[in-house]
Amino acid sequence: MAIEFELSKGMQTARDMARMFAETYVRPYALESDQLCGPHPKFIEACKQFRLGTGQLSGVDGVDAPKTPKPGKLRETNRMRLVAAEELAWGDATAALNMPGPGLGGPPVQFTGTPEQRERFMSVFKPDEYKFGAYALTEPDAGSDAKNLKTLCRKEGDVWVLNGSKIYITNGKRAEWTVVFATIDPALGRAGHRTFVVEKGTPGFSCPKVEKKMGLRASETAEQVFEECRVPAENLLGGEAHYEAKSKGGFKTAMKTFDATRPLVAVMAVGIARAAYEIARDWVQEHYALSQHTHRYHRLVDTLCEMEHDIRTARLLSYKAAYLLDRELPNAKESSMSKAYAGSMVQRVTSQAIELLGPEGVREHRLVEKLYRDQKVYDIFEGTGQIQRLVISRRLFANARD
C-alpha cells in the first residue's frame, strides 16, 4: 500500500477554510460559550452567513453521498472531513457539535436509508438555516455494549410503536429528527435491532432533560423518552427488506456508522491536544530560558517533545482509518485504534499542559483549563477506550497477519 504524507490541494483547502473559521468565529468565543452553556450568537451568525446549514465544514455531517472520483484519483471525502474537524476542535471542541446539519444522524441515513428516505430527511437541512439531526443509541444500560438495547419496538399496522429512553444524545432536544435504535425482542440480540428516524413532534416522543456537564458545556446533551411513540412505517431506515431474518441490519447500521465517525472523534481529540500543546509551548518559551543547562529545563523540553510526538501519532492513526474508508476497505480495527489511542492521548497531553503552566493552568480564564474538562468525554463516547481495545483484540486474533 502506497504511503503519502502530503495533503492534496483539496484537503489543504478544507483545512485552510476550517482554520480561518476557527480562528475568526470559534476560538475568540470559546470561553464565553462555555460560560453561556450554548453556542455564541456570533458563531450562529457566521454559520448562517457562510451558509453552513448542512454541516459541510464540520467534517461530521455525512450529508453528501460518496462521489465517484475521476479515473486514477482516490476519493478523499473522509480525509477532508478529518482535516476540517481537527481545526474546529482546535478552536473549540463544541464547534463541530454545534455546526448545523444532520450530525451523527447523517451517516446511518446515507448508509442504510432508501433513496426516498435520504432525499426526505437530508432535504430538511438548508444552507442558511440552523437546524440539527441526532443519533440515539446510548441507554442507561446500553451504549458501548450496543447489543444490550432495551428500547422496544413493535409493528401495529402501518406504524411502529417505540417504548424506552435514550441518554446523552448530542443535540437531542433541538434536532429536527433523530436516528433511534430499538429492538423487537432483547432475547434476539443483534438480530432484533431496528433503526428508525423519529421526527420532532412525533406523538409519544419527548426530551425531558438537558444535561449539565463538566465539559463540552456549549454543546446540548439531552435525554429522550419514547412512550407509545408512534413512528410511521416509512421511517424504518432501509425498509423491511433491510431486516431480513438473522441479517442484523440494525446493529450493522450502528457499527458502520462508528467505523466512519470514530476517526473523526479521534481527530477532534487531536485538535484539543494540539491547542493545549501550543498554549504550553508558548508559555514555556515566554517564561523560561530553555538554553540553561539544568535538569529542570531539560525536563520541560522533553515533556513538550513527548506531547508533540503523541499528537502526531494520533493524527496518523486517524488518517489511516479515513484513508481505508475512502478506498471502501474494511477499517474497523484502524478506526478503533485511532479512537482508543486519541482518547488516552488527549487526557495525557492536556494534563501535561496544565502541569507546565503550574497554578495558571487551572484558572478559569485560561483556555487550557477548559480543554482539560472538554477532553474527558473523548475516551467515552462513540465507544469507550476499553471497548475499542476489545474490538482491536478480536480483529488481531481473527487475522494475526494483518
Residue in 87, 139, 223, 382 annotated catalytic: 382
Distance (Å, whole) CA 36 – CA 283 = 27
What domains are there in the chain, each with its CATH number? 9-110 (1.10.540.10), 111-247 (2.40.110.10), 251-398 (1.20.140.10)
Which residues are within 8 A (CB) of 254 and not within 5 positions of it... i.e. 6 or more apart? 108, 137, 146, 181, 193, 195
Per-residue pLDDT of the chain (402 residues; tens, 9 = 90+): 566 778 999 999 999 999 999 999 999 999 999 999 999 999 999 999 998 877 666 544 444 444 555 555 678 888 999 999 999 999 999 998 999 999 889 989 988 999 999 999 999 999 889 999 999 999 988 766 677 889 999 999 999 999 999 999 999 999 999 999 999 999 988 889 999 999 999 999 999 999 999 999 999 999 999 999 999 999 999 999 888 755 666 666 667 777 888 999 999 999 999 999 999 999 988 887 666 666 777 888 899 999 999 999 999 999 999 999 999 898 989 999 999 999 999 999 999 999 999 888 888 778 999 999 999 999 988 778 888 888 888 888 875 444
Distance (Å, whole) CA 279 – CA 201 = 45
Distance (Å, whole) CA 27 – CA 23 = 6
Contact predicate 158/232, CB 8 Å = yes
- Strand residues in 121-240 grouped as ranges (E): 132-136, 152-156, 159-170, 175-183, 193-199, 205-210, 221-232
- Max Cα separation, the chain? 79
- What stretch of H or E contains 31? helix 30-36
Model pLDDT, residue 401: 45
Query: If you search the block for the grid coordinates 411513540, which residue do you land on?
Result: 229
pTM: 0.88
Half-sphere exposure of 385 (CA within 13 A, CB side): 13
Per the annotation, the verdict on 45 as an active-site residue is no
C-beta neighbour count of 146 within 10 angstroms: 20
